[in-house]
Structure 1
Amino acid sequence: MTAPTNNDASYEHLDIRLENQTAWVTMNRPDSLNALNRKLVEELRDFFVGLYWRRDVRVVVLRGAGKAFCAGLDLKERSNSEGGRSIGAGLTAQRRISEIVIAMRRCPQPIIACVDGAAAGGGFALMLASDVRVCTPRLKANAAFIRIGLTACDIGVSYFLPRMVGSSVAAEYMLTGRFFTAQRAYELGMVSQIVEAEELEPVAQALVDDMLHATPLGLRLTKECLNHAIDAQGLEAAIAMEDRNQILASSDGDFQEGVRAFLEKRRPVYENRES
């Protein structure tokens, strides 16, 4: 088991287990349905921003403790702290939250979201910002912001959702604040699988195991290229990125080990670690 680095051991509401180059990250405020209070926002931002520089973590699994993934912003804390805040201060506070999903997309590690129960508002944004999403039949996900006097365009939802489900469906759910059920999310391709709660960790572990078959460089470049391809101006721009990545990956010291392991029908053992 890898020893915790950075601030992993000192988080209050974020439990992190580092094992076999995988960070199992659990939002741990079950009595509040893992709602995002200021401390949890700070810890999520610190963890995901720091991931960019880490090579001891190759895959991240994100989940919530108890019977919810994340119920969104902690409105009780917000209502107790509201008072003559300037627009500038409000924008700064807003960016403290939205920077989390920017860091999730920027970090080189694939993020697997295990979503059980509520994924509302900010929790919905965390779910959408992940690379692979697996849920239970209890999923209830929505852009809850519009139901509390805000717009539904928050924390990257207006970017992620239309790209996943199309503009008409995104408009329907964002303008109404309606909930996605697990079956609807699966039909639309928002989630990869629907499994019972006790199967979430084994399914995530199987995904992790398959991802770790890739070389460290190949895994990072694949996530990077997927992100750029979503916004690419056309086929040629996407292929230019693919061509560049294939040459980089094939020039890496781990490439030959990957080929040997495939031919010998064994798990690869990569040694070309970056410091």
Structure 2
Amino acid sequence: MKTDPSDSQSIAITRPRDGIVLLKLNRAPRMNAFTVGMMQEMHNAIDTIAVDRSLRALVIAGEGPAFCSGLDLKALPPALLGTSASVVAWTEIQQLFSGMSRKLRALDQVVIAAVQGAAVGAGFAMALAADIRVAARSAAFHIGAVKIGLSAGECGISYHLPKIVGSARAFELMLTGRPLLADEAERIGLVASVVEEAALVESALELATQVLRNSPYSTRHTKQLMWANLEAPSLEAALQLEDRTQVMALQTADFREAVAAFTEKRPPHFNGT
């Protein structure tokens, strides 16, 4: 699979605050659409973040007026769009894109998507795979594939969207392909808040900072517990997982520090043990 040399500059990574990494898609002239090479770069970035224990939150944003417009069809080799296109080649690309959602979900770090403008296809899926979404007033979520003769289910959309907004609304959005604008997205629970575009990234960073005020064990295991119990077959199974997680938390030094800080009326100082 060939990579466009320009893809190496398509993702910008900075550390604007302690414990927080900002990953910004950086193809504004193409509405941050993913090329195959850019998606490979995205995988590499996620892999690097996953093993960095100094990072506890990831904020994903887009440069320019759009969050991400999905797959850049214009950047694909012409042979892939012809009648002789290989099923094997397309499967490789499809699994590369869908694998991004799997990796984001698997991160111990809390993932926050800061969405402005269009979030289409894989861009919408990327936002859905985040733990929390914040939107600018310009945000518009699109399921583009259903409009071009493909299934609306891609990169985890058919899995995540019904869990977040309910199956009735998800069916309607996926079958019509209509845009979901920011105010409605907030009303149906897709996004946590809607802010002015100029304040979007700062709002996401502030939200990440609030998360980091809690202990590393608390945030990591709360995230794992939430996603696991969305799949729980019964209340009993969910309670058992909660009980085990809580009993382990009671043994941590950070829990003892939190109790001491509460008693002494001071902020806690967590060290992740």
Query: Under a length normalisation based on structure 1, what TM-score does the superposition of the two structures give?
Result: 0.90
TM superposition shift of 1:212 = 0.8
TM superposition shift of 1:89 = 2.4
Whole-angstrom CA distance in 2 between matches of 1:244 and 1:11: 43
Q: What are the within-5 Å matches in structure 2 for residues 213-252 of structure 1?
A: 213-252=213-252
Q: Which residue of 1 aligns with 2:54?
A: 56
Q: Which residue of 2 aligns with 1:201?
A: 201
- Whether the 8 Å CA contact 1:49–1:100 is kept in 2: the answer is no
Q: Which residue of 1 aligns with 2:4?
A: none
Instruction: Kindly provide the CA deviation profile for residues 149-203 of structure 1, in whole angstroms up to 9, marking residues without a partner as x.
Output: 2110100000011111111211111111110011111111000101001111232
Whole-angstrom CA distance in 2 between matches of 1:263 and 1:32: 54
Instruction: Kindly provide the CA deviation profile for residues 69-94 of structure 1, in whole angstroms up to 9, marking residues without a partner as x.
Output: 00111010126352533222221221
TM superposition shift of 1:265 = 4.6
Match of 2:10 among 7, 13, 16: 13
Whole-angstrom CA distance in 2 between matches of 1:77 and 1:267: 51
Match of 1:43 among 37, 41, 44: 41
Whole-angstrom CA distance in 2 between matches of 1:55 and 1:61: 16
Alignment pair present for 1:76 and 2:43: no
Paired residue type of 2:40: E
Instruction: Please provide the CA RMSD for this pair.
Output: 1.7
- Whether the 8 Å CA contact 1:125–1:157 is kept in 2: the answer is yes
CA 1:247 to 1:170, structure 2 compared with 1: closer, same or farther past 3 Å? same
Q: Which residue of 2 aligns with 1:157?
A: 157
Greater shift, 111-120 or 210-219, is seen at: 210-219
Paired residue type of 2:66: A
Uncovered stretches (5+) of structure 2, i.e. residues with no partner: 1-6
Whole-angstrom CA distance in 2 between matches of 1:42 and 1:267: 42
- Whether the 8 Å CA contact 1:214–1:258 is kept in 2: the answer is no
Q: Which residue of 2 aligns with 1:32?
A: 30
Q: Which residue of 2 aligns with 1:112?
A: 112
Uncovered stretches (5+) of structure 1, i.e. residues with no partner: 1-9
Q: What are the within-5 Å matches in structure 2 for residues 161-180 of structure 1?
A: 161-180=161-180
- Whether the 8 Å CA contact 1:213–1:267 is kept in 2: the answer is no
Other structure's SS at 1:186 match: helix
Other structure's SS at 1:254 match: helix
CA 1:262 to 1:33, structure 2 compared with 1: closer, same or farther past 3 Å? farther
- Whether the 8 Å CA contact 1:45–1:97 is kept in 2: the answer is no
Instruction: Kindly provide the CA deviation profile for residues 39-85 of structure 1, in whole angstroms up to 9, marking residues without a partner as x.
Output: 22112112223433321110011100011100111010126352533
Q: How many residues align?
A: 264
Whole-angstrom CA distance in 2 between matches of 1:272 and 1:73: 39
Paired residue type of 1:123: G
Paired residue type of 1:258: A
Whole-angstrom CA distance in 2 between matches of 1:272 and 1:111: 19
- Whether the 8 Å CA contact 1:14–1:26 is kept in 2: the answer is yes
- Percent identity between matched residues is 36
- Whether the 8 Å CA contact 2:221–2:245 is kept in 1: the answer is yes
